[in-house]
Structure 1
Amino acid sequence: MSEVSSLFGGPAPAGSAIGLYAKASPDFEAKLAETVALLQAAAQEHPGKVVQATSLGVEDMIVTDLIARHGIDIAIGTLETGALHPETVALIGTIEQHYAAQGVKVEVYKPAQEAVIEFVQKNGEKAMYESIDLRKACCGVRKLEPLARMLNGRTAWITGLRREQSNNRGGMLERELDDKGRAKFNPMIEWTWGDVWHYVKTFNVPYNPLHDQFMPSIGCAPCTRAIAVGEDFRAGRWWWEDEKAKECGLHVHK
């Protein structure tokens, strides 16, 4: 098993996410094979019309690694909301450099600048803290509209969602239809947190250093904080809101 020497200059420190969490479940190899098979099926069923919508979180970094490693014909796109941590934005270049031999390029979709300016002028820089409606409106401007452009002309998309992430995601399936009728593939739905970091350690996958600061779920900077021991994975996202409200609208599930 390889160590993440390129990231840490040697074995992973005990305090890193890898050192803390990397532990494969007994059926990890079967999960991995199923994930690869599902990605290959998505590419075959939707040739030239499928995209991985990566949040640049560790799960999505694994999906990107699998696409590159197995030469699967799936485009990779991300939303640069204008409010991300610098560490998150830097991963776009890291991906292209790390997978340069495979010719991986990341499509970057940004919100309409005019819409962002208008929203901030009308509601202020901290509107997301004022009400759920304003927070979701901010997500609409910064995430949903750019996502619509990413998915325009495409018939399928790939996520890094896992059931373990939250109660809201517990009922999601490997294959679903989104609210527009597009095919949506969730190839990591059965992976555990230990599986995730075991893969990162084994295959030396680059990841956001904020994960080492107890941020398992990373979104826009104003809406992300570190979690405490015993808190849920997504406790650091929109922590001032009720648990049932904690989705931005990208992953509508009924």
Structure 2
Amino acid sequence: MTAFDLSQTQTELQGKNPRSILKTALANFDNIAISFSGAEDVVLIDMALQIRKDVQVFTLDTGRLHPETYRFIEQVRKHYQIDIDVLTPNRDVLDAFVKQKGLFSFYQDGHKECCGIRKVEPLRRKLATLDAWITGQRKDQSLDTRSEIPEVQLDEAFSIADKPLIKFNPLLNWSSAQVWDYIEAYQVPYNPLHGQGFISIGCEPCTRPVLPNQHERAGRWWWEDATKKECGLHVGNVKQ
């Protein structure tokens, strides 16, 4: 970690293509992992395995995913012959939350508390064991929350004392069309829900298909303010 110059690397990677960013990430960090949930992340897995065969991959099982998503996770595991670390919520905390508030409290209270238990806490546990992680964030996914993120950054939300966490965003400058061009060209597996109008896929109760010409994040937490559509995994993106 001491040899990694974040400022210099940010300058070097500005505007670079995903493979260049991935090569830099994997060259600088052995203890690094790809966060996998959607189509973008499988593109990253596909690219990364061409660079290094021992890349760690993890995914979050909130307990509320679509059946198609669970089958998709298994499809990716078999297709690439890789281990996928499936992270689950703290059972005691989740049981107490559901007992007190039921299964659909987010429609009244907002998604923050539920996502905090089902997604953020398991992620925090995993990231505490890593030096760096790789995400599929793109600027055009949300101009409100993702337009200003860099190709590589200090993850201030998940860094802990004396252990900085570096976050790489290789697909930052790609469009959705570029992601899907890659998926088609290289026959990358993808969630079948994409063929049913779902673009950005999260938990089943909080995700719905989008209409033609709607933004891809419109189907996520549709009952809430459009400027706050982050679950907490990338909480640093939300402007205060």
116, 122, 126: which is aligned to 1:146?
A: 122
Deviation of the 1:153 alpha carbon: 2.1
Consecutive unaligned residues in structure 2, runs of 5 or more: 1-15
Deviation of the 1:184 alpha carbon: 0.4
1:231 matches 2:231:
no
RMSD over aligned CA atoms reads 1.7
Deviation of the 1:85 alpha carbon: 0.6
150, 166, 185: which is aligned to 1:173?
A: 150
Q: Which residue of 2 aligns with 1:42?
A: 25
> In 1, distance between residues paired with 2:40 and 2:129?
25
1:203 matches 2:186:
yes
Q: Which residue of 1 aligns with 2:3?
A: none
Q: Which amino acid in the other structure matches residue 149 of structure 2?
A: M
Q: Which residue of 2 aligns with 1:118?
A: 96
Q: What are the superposed Cα offsets for residues 19-49 of structure 1, whole Å, 9 maximum, x if unpaired?
A: xxxxxxxxxxxxxx821121121122111x1
186, 192, 204: which is aligned to 1:221?
A: 204
Deviation of the 1:91 alpha carbon: 1.8
Matches within 5 A, 1:7-26: none
Deviation of the 1:173 alpha carbon: 1.1
Identity across matched positions, percent: 41
Q: Which residue of 1 aligns with 2:51?
A: 70
Q: Which residue of 1 aligns with 2:172?
A: 189
Secondary structure of the residue that 1:244 maps to in structure 2? helix
Consecutive unaligned residues in structure 1, runs of 5 or more: 1-32
Deviation of the 1:172 alpha carbon: 1.1
With the length of structure 2 as denominator, give the TM-score of the two structures. Answer: 0.86
With the length of structure 1 as denominator, give the TM-score of the two structures. Answer: 0.81
Q: List structure 1 segments (4+ residues) > 6 angstroms apart after TM superposition.
A: none
Q: What are the superposed Cα offsets for residues 142-170 of structure 1, whole Å, 9 maximum, x if unpaired?
A: 00111012112211100000001111111
> In 2, distance between residues paired with 1:92 and 1:194?
22
Secondary structure of the residue that 1:139 maps to in structure 2? helix
Deviation of the 1:73 alpha carbon: 4.1
> In 1, distance between residues paired with 2:47 and 2:53?
8
> In 1, distance between residues paired with 2:148 and 2:61?
28
